[in-house]
Amino acid sequence: MFESLQKEEITHTQLVRYAGASGDFNQIHTVVPYGEAAGLGGVIAHGMLIMGFVGQAIGQWFEAKDLRKFTARFKAMTRPGEKITVHGRIVDEKDDCWICEAEAINEDEEVKVKAFFEIKK
Amino acid sequence: MSTELEEKVGMKIESYTFRVEKGKIRELALAIGDLKEEYMNGEAVPPTFPTVIDFWGGGSSSSELLNLNMKKVLHGEQEYEYFREIIPDEEITVHGVIEKAYTKASINFFVLRKDYLNEQGETVLISRSTIIERH
């Protein structure tokens, strides 16, 4: 088990900032009335932001440049106000790499992202 | 599977190029809150940087190609296979193709595969994005 990465609370401002940085301007992430009209009850975070948190954790656990494969399944929507923690562990190995898994969860332990990654030894 | 969906398989998105700008590396890292020095000075890219290449290099061509209703679109899964490091200032060219299209529980799923090539024509990365369209 690696040392968990605890992120600060997600804010609307962070989503606006992530929209600009990534170029994903789908308004379900930034415009509350649009998110409501889309039936989402407000805005939701970009899944790629949460995958980015997992990427940050991987960079804390290993050298990110040693990543060979990184998969994220988006399991639940994340909203402003939620606090995400990333946990991870090695589950197996090949001759040349470690096989690991990680989850991004909120304070109620709802899994937002389930991730798998392989990293060069 | 509906014929309409089946016809999407093999469709190619318009290729695009993006020069890996140090400022965009830093901007993405700041938005994530991943403040590693090598990201801040633009010497290395975070693992999810390819999303910047997609949106800033290619716009929304995949959603246009699939004729998706953006109010109903969600990202189901994202996979990256890394073959070489993405080097700041190099130009990356991306070719994309719809690899799979299917319906499950009346939700449409599309798998978009993208190959990222450096200026030498070497594959640096392969990405597979599962796009979900709710009804």
Mean pLDDT, contiguous 10-residue spans, chain B (135 residues): 80 94 98 97 96 85 77 90 96 96 91 96 97 86
Phi-psi region of A75 (alpha: psi -120 to 50; beta: other; left: phi over 0): alpha
- For residue B77, give the nearest of A24, A46, A72 by CB distance: A72
B8: distance to nearest CA of chain A, Å?
22
**pTM given for the model:** 0.95
The two tokens of residue B25 are 């590396």
Q: Is-contact A120 A66, C-beta < 8 A?
A: yes
Instruction: Place domain B3-20+50-133 in its CATH homologous superfamily.
Output: Hotdog Thioesterase (3.10.129.10)
Round the CA-based radius of gyration of chain A to a whole number and report it: 15
Task: Tell me if B33 and A8 make a contact (CB, 8 A cut-off).
Answer: yes
Domain boundary assignment for chain B:
3-20+50-133
Judge whether residue A77 has pLDDT over 60. yes
The two tokens of residue B68 are 């998706």
pLDDT above 70 coverage of chain A, percent: 100
What pLDDT, on a 0 to 100 scale, did the predictor assign at position B60?
56
Interface contacts A/B by beta carbons within 8 Å: 107
Which listed CATH number (1.10.10.10, 3.30.750.24, 3.10.129.10, 3.40.80.10) goes with A5-9+46-120?
3.10.129.10
Q: Is-contact B94 B115, C-beta < 8 A?
A: yes
What pLDDT, on a 0 to 100 scale, did the predictor assign at position A74?
97
- Helix (H/G/I), strand (E/B), else coil: B93: strand
What pLDDT, on a 0 to 100 scale, did the predictor assign at position B73?
84
Domain boundary assignment for chain A:
5-9+46-120
Nearest C-alpha in B relative to A58: B47
Task: Tell me if B31 and A72 make a contact (CB, 8 A cut-off).
Answer: no
Residues of A in contact with B71 (CB under 8 A): 28, 34, 37-39
Region A20-46: mean pLDDT is: 95
The two tokens of residue A64 are 């990110």
Residues of B in contact with A23 (CB under 8 A): 51-52, 54-56
In angstroms, the CA B26 to CA B40 distance is: 5
Is A49 part of the contact surface with chain B (CB cutoff 8 Å)? yes
Residues of B in contact with A120 (CB under 8 A): none
- For residue A58, give the nearest of B47, B76, B77 by CB distance: B47
What pLDDT, on a 0 to 100 scale, did the predictor assign at position B59?
58
